Amino acid sequence: MSLENLPPLREVIATHGLAPRKSLGQNFLLDLNLTGKIARQAGDLSGYDVLEIGPGPGGLTRALLAEGARKVVAIETDTRCLPALAEIGAAANGRLHVLSGDALKLDPLPHLQGPVKVVANLPYNVGTELLVRWLTPSTWPPFWESLTLMFQREVAERIVAKPGSKAYGRLAVLSQFRADPNICFELSPQAFSPPPKVTSAVVHIKALAAPRFQAEPKLLSEVVARAFNQRRKMLRASLKGVVPEIQAVLENVEIDPQRRAETLSLEEFCKLSEAVRVARRQG
């Protein structure tokens, strides 16, 4: 059997008894034209290992293999999906490697060879957590060259948000500090089975070779989290305790202590976190 001759996904779901489970965020994509379109947002896959989280019945997995991925490493927690994925593996001459378990606990790196792209229709309940982990590795550049991910539209908007908007927050700063995120296209609930309540969007995030501005990533993350934790407060209040003299530190980098987190640009957050670093060293 070749990839093109695999049965339609509805048939696969019926044969293997894959009734979608809400608790696992199972909203499946059954249209192979659509999964092909998503896979193509990741660019050329030949010569790349692809990490996929949550292959489910394998619609996107098939597309990634058909688009020429050297190898797909797919982590799936629902063991009911394994026989369907094994059929895809057999049709793809061993280019599919399935890891059975929780993507938050399994380390796929021993199974991947660079260069790597990540492509996934993420389970909503672990999507943001995985994204934050991929954006905050201990070394940069990260193991991935790009992330092509499906999110709820509201999360996609938070990833690409600019200062001054309601969606701007920690996710925007972390995503834009040393990567370049774009929304590729939106998908209506009807694209999925069963349809979720909200519109979804595919986001493509390309890793930059180096950060846009100098900052110590862990400290930047801490400052941004603190600032947005109380986003309606002035920075002098929301950042109280980050360093004893936060008002003076803000003034030193020419940020008015009365401003609110959502008005600060990425460059200003980086400047501020560098100033906090220096103040902590001196203190």
- What is the contact surface with ligand SAM in residues (CB under 6 A)? 24-29, 53-56, 59-60, 75-78, 102-104, 121, 123, 126
> Taking the C-alpha atoms of 185, 189, 195 and 196 in order, what is their torsion angle to the nearest 10 degrees?
90
Is 19 within 8 Å of 104 (Cβ atoms)?
Answer: no
**Minimum CB separation from ligand SAM for residue 14, in Å?**
15
Decide whether 26 or 221 has the Cβ nearer to ligand SAM.
Answer: 26
Decide whether 102 or 256 has the Cβ nearer to ligand SAM.
Answer: 102
CA separation for the pair 36, 66 (Å, rounded): 8
Decide whether 89 or 123 has the Cβ nearer to ligand SAM.
Answer: 123
**Minimum CB separation from ligand SAM for residue 51, in Å?**
11
Radius of gyration of the chain (CA): 21
First to last CA, the chain: 67
**Minimum CB separation from ligand SAM for residue 102, in Å?**
4
**Minimum CB separation from ligand SAM for residue 163, in Å?**
31
Backbone φ, ψ for residue 4 (5° rounding): -65, -25
181: left (phi over 0), alpha (psi -120 to 50) or beta: beta
Structure-token match 């790597």, residue found: 116
**Minimum CB separation from ligand SAM for residue 54, in Å?**
2
**Minimum CB separation from ligand SAM for residue 55, in Å?**
5
Decide whether 10 or 162 has the Cβ nearer to ligand SAM.
Answer: 10
Decide whether 53 or 250 has the Cβ nearer to ligand SAM.
Answer: 53
Instruction: List Cβ neighbours of 189 (8 Å cut-off, separation of 6 or more).
Output: 195, 196, 197, 198, 199, 200
Decide whether 99 or 161 has the Cβ nearer to ligand SAM.
Answer: 99
CA separation for the pair 208, 145 (Å, rounded): 8
CA separation for the pair 118, 74 (Å, rounded): 10
CA separation for the pair 220, 271 (Å, rounded): 9
Instruction: List Cβ neighbours of 281 (8 Å cut-off, separation of 6 or more).
Output: none
**Minimum CB separation from ligand SAM for residue 53, in Å?**
6
Decide whether 56 or 142 has the Cβ nearer to ligand SAM.
Answer: 56
